[in-house]
Chains A and B, each alone.
Chain A
Amino acid sequence: MDRQAPSRDVTPDSAFGFDGNWKDFAKIALPNQMLTILTLGIYRFWATARERRYLWAHSRFVDERLEWSGTGRELFIGFLLAAAVILLPLFGLNLLIQSLTLRGEEALAGWLTFVLFLGVYYFTGLARFRGLRYRLSRTHWRGIRGGSDDQGLGYGVSYTWKSFVGYLPLGLLVPWSMTSLWNERIGKMSFGPHRFEAHAASGNLFARFLLFYLLPIVLVVGLTVAAFAGYGIDQARGGEAIPDLGITGMLILAFFVWFFVLGLVAAAFYAKYYREVVGATEWADLNFAFEASTMDWIRLYLGDFLLVVATLGIGFTFVKYRHWKFFMTHMEAGGEILLDNLTQSTTRVAGHGEGLLDAFDIGAV
């Protein structure tokens, strides 16, 4: 007899939660770091699995915790596969290009360089897809997992051409390529028997993107004017008497303004981007939301920066903890889940980990 009602109402402010704490995480992460160093990096696959197990186990969705069922061994095998199938050929191609250049076959070398370039884009797209698929297939909730029956080969092609089209008109279509790739990627994933659906629109992002896009130009003009003003101050003071003070001061100021303002605007864009794409994502009768504001993002990255600097790099291992917590605490969902209808996923499970993703160094947690 089931003591629980077979459906769950999802109220927006309690759908996701995180109750880990960094001291417990440190007990996992610091020994991991030591073993990783002592094994010349090989333990990092098992380290990743342990850390994810902790993070998932302390993440709650509605009334049950998540569970990470991936293993270090499969991540390791995935890495070896990616190395054999992708890295060695790419490395060989690179050698071939060098050799052709030396033999005077510059035209052929140029073409192959282009192929290499396309190849890196293609595999980056494929890796993002496979990484997401792998993570969903190893995420269990109430015994049910996610996945995808798509191999991601087509997504690799989309990723390549949409990225290029995005950059083509002076980069103005980048928001379109980002949202359209999100829709395509998420739309091929499922959890249990239900597909995800995403219909994010780039129009809502465009204003923020223009800010991000035009600001450097405004800054360059503004700072140039300011620099000339500084030069003018020098001249007015008699030029030689206090050399460099105006210009050097202005340059240092310009440097900080540049990174500070650009960082701020980038945070504003990404905050909007995630609000848009997550908000446009649905699964069964649920809709999602991501409530992080621009200030939340700035606090996240400022915190990362201070953490890494203050610990001379040792704290880097906590960055993934902070990001996962950020993700879980700002994720929201509303709607209803019928537990009886939430049956096991029939997608096939890839036997190996996100090796391809790992090889290209893309990854959230």
Chain B
Amino acid sequence: MRSISAPSDPMRDPLLIEASWYDGRSAVRHEGEAVWEGGPALVLRNGDDRFDIPFSDLAYGERRGQTDVYRLASNPGFRLSLPHVLPPDLAARMPARSDYGAWVDKLGFGKAALIFAVVSASLAALFLTAPTWLGPRIPMSWERRIGDAMVGDLGGRLCHTPAGDAALAKLLGKVDPAGQAVRAGVFNADMVNAAALPGGQVLVFDGLIQQAESPEELAGVLGHEVGHVHERHVMTAMLRQFGLSILLSGANSGIGDTVFGLASMTYSRDAEREADEYARARMAQSDVSPIGAASFFERIGGRGGKEPEKPASDEGSMFDWVASHPAPGERARAYRAAVDADATYRPALTDREFAALKSMCADDPDVEEFDLF
């Protein structure tokens, strides 16, 4: 047993406590006493050797069975072992014991856990809702700059012919009558897909144009993507993905998860419905029949009901960020329900214009073919 003498008046009778220490310079262990005379320092005594250790220099290390190990701020290798149970007036001078880490120790486990839970839940709520209100408030010019930095001119893969460009512009005018900052292009890739890229650039893939049987079908798809741009869904999706990756960076430590998590951005179901609603409203304004769009989705839904606009061949590419759409059957019904019996619909494009759009990529000698490696 270690002996402790506890005198009534520490100023006259010093406290003697059995102690052992390593001096931090060599591995030799020293045994002796710690003496406290009531002053601001402990005196370590080992035979004739004695030296002072100011309380302000002591830091708590850890508990070792019936002893506590203390460290010195001024000498990182120094270790002092004292009995766990000390006379109360000395214990009051020793540095506080710590276990979990400063904050949790101060608050206690239960209180700390509760505070952490509340803070985490509010942070999670903030991160999950922020994109929805923050996205539309980010200036379109910023988004355009981000978009240009990310995709540029798409490596010359947009098809251009004078007649085709004119037809596309006319069609865009039908679904974007206000003529806002939307750019549309036909992307030279043989996939049934369309996408809204950051910066208000809408792409209709040539593969989708070849599938279309009437200009009204294209108007539905184009209107949907323009809807994503107008409702600022692209920015919202980018922010949500960004926020999620920050939120998860605490929990996951692999770089893989963070890097590749960003490449899998999708819109919410609500965003998809809003984009469709936008398309139907603009088409109604421009007297474009929704039946074309309905039959397009029906035709595609008939082929196994798979998501039509999600290409299988370019997984992991940027187009997966922006193109993932709800089941076509549901969308077809919504378009059919939008048919107004009293309206007089006019063709969205003339036959000649529609043909120009169809042959746009074949007729453009300069366009680059799209393939990933």
Query: Which residues from chain A sit less than 8 Å from chain B, CB to CB?
Result: 1-4, 6, 31, 34-35, 38-44, 46, 49-50, 53, 57, 64-65, 67, 69, 71-73, 79, 83, 86-87, 90-91, 94-95, 98-99, 101-106, 110, 120, 140-145, 192, 337, 339-344, 349, 358-361
Contacts and interface: CB of A to CB of B under 8 A. Distances in A.
8 contacts: A49-B101, A67-B62, A110-B373, A140-B79, A143-B22, A144-B26, A340-B28, A342-B26
B187 to A, nearest CB: 10
Contact of A35 (B22, B112, B263): B112
A192 B112 contact: no
B156 interface: yes
B149 interface: yes
A72 B98 CA distance: 13
A4 B28 contact: yes
A150 B10 CA distance: 51
A104 B251 contact: no
Nearest to B319: A102
Contacts of B24: 143, 344
Contacts of A64: 29
B151 A94 contact: no
A120 B256 CA distance: 11
B113 interface: yes
B50 interface: no
A87 B154 CA distance: 27
A103 B47 contact: no
B277 interface: no
Contact of A39 (B27, B76, B116, B149): B116
Interface in B52-74: 61-62, 64, 69, 71
Nearest to B115: A38
A1 B47 contact: yes
A143 B263 contact: no
A145 B27 CA distance: 10
Interface stretch (B117-125, B172-180, B301-309): B117-125
B8 interface: no
Contact of A94 (B71, B104, B259): B259
Contacts of A99: 149-152
Interface in B126-172: 149-157
Contacts of B77: 140, 143-145, 344
Contacts of A6: 28
B64 A1 contact: no
A72 B105 CA distance: 14
The 7 residue pairs across chains A and B that have the minimum distance between CB atoms: A104-B155, A143-B22, A41-B251, A41-B250, A142-B27, A342-B27, A38-B116
Interface residues of B, number: 60
B258 A91 contact: yes
B107 to A, nearest CB: 11
Contacts of B113: 34-35, 38
Contacts of A39: 116, 120, 250
A306 B197 CA distance: 48
Nearest to A50: B100
Nearest to A8: B27
Contacts of B69: 67
B258 A102 contact: no
Interface string B208-248: 00000000000000000000000000000000000000011
B12 interface: no
B255 A90 contact: yes
A31 B109 CA distance: 8
B3 interface: no
B31 A104 contact: no
A360 B255 contact: yes
Contacts of B71: 69
Contacts of B101: 46, 49-50, 71-73
A341 B263 CA distance: 57
B249 to A, nearest CB: 7
Given A40-B123, A50-B100, A104-B154, 13 more contacts: A3-B31, A40-B120, A41-B248, A41-B250, A41-B252, A43-B116, A65-B64, A99-B151, A101-B317, A104-B156, A105-B155, A143-B79, A344-B26
Nearest to B48: A1
B251 A143 contact: no
Contact of B124 (A2, A40, A94): A40
Nearest to A342: B27
B6 to A, nearest CB: 25
A106 B26 contact: no
A121 to B, nearest CB: 13
B61 A344 contact: no
Contacts of A67: 61-62, 69, 79
Given A35-B104, A87-B258, A143-B79, A103 B153 contact: yes
Contacts of A94: 259
A348 to B, nearest CB: 12
B312 interface: no
A140 B154 CA distance: 58
A131 to B, nearest CB: 13
Given A1-B46, A50-B100, A142-B29, A102 B120 contact: no
Contact of A38 (B62, B120, B258): B120
A349 B61 contact: no
Interface in B254-298: 254-255, 258-259, 262-263
Nearest to B153: A103
Contacts of A91: 255, 258-259, 262
A65 B29 CA distance: 13
Contact of B154 (A41, A102, A141): A102
B176 to A, nearest CB: 24
Nearest to A38: B116
Nearest to B23: A143
B253 A2 contact: no
B155 A90 contact: no
Contacts of B340: none
B78 to A, nearest CB: 6
Contact of A102 (B109, B112, B155, B252): B155
A23 to B, nearest CB: 16
B99 interface: yes
Nearest to B77: A143
Contact of A143 (B64, B78, B156): B78
B27 A35 contact: no
Contact of B368 (A42, A83, A98, A104): A104
B94 interface: no
Interface in B76-120: 76-79, 99-101, 104, 109, 112-113, 116-117, 120
Contacts of A73: 101
A142 B22 contact: yes
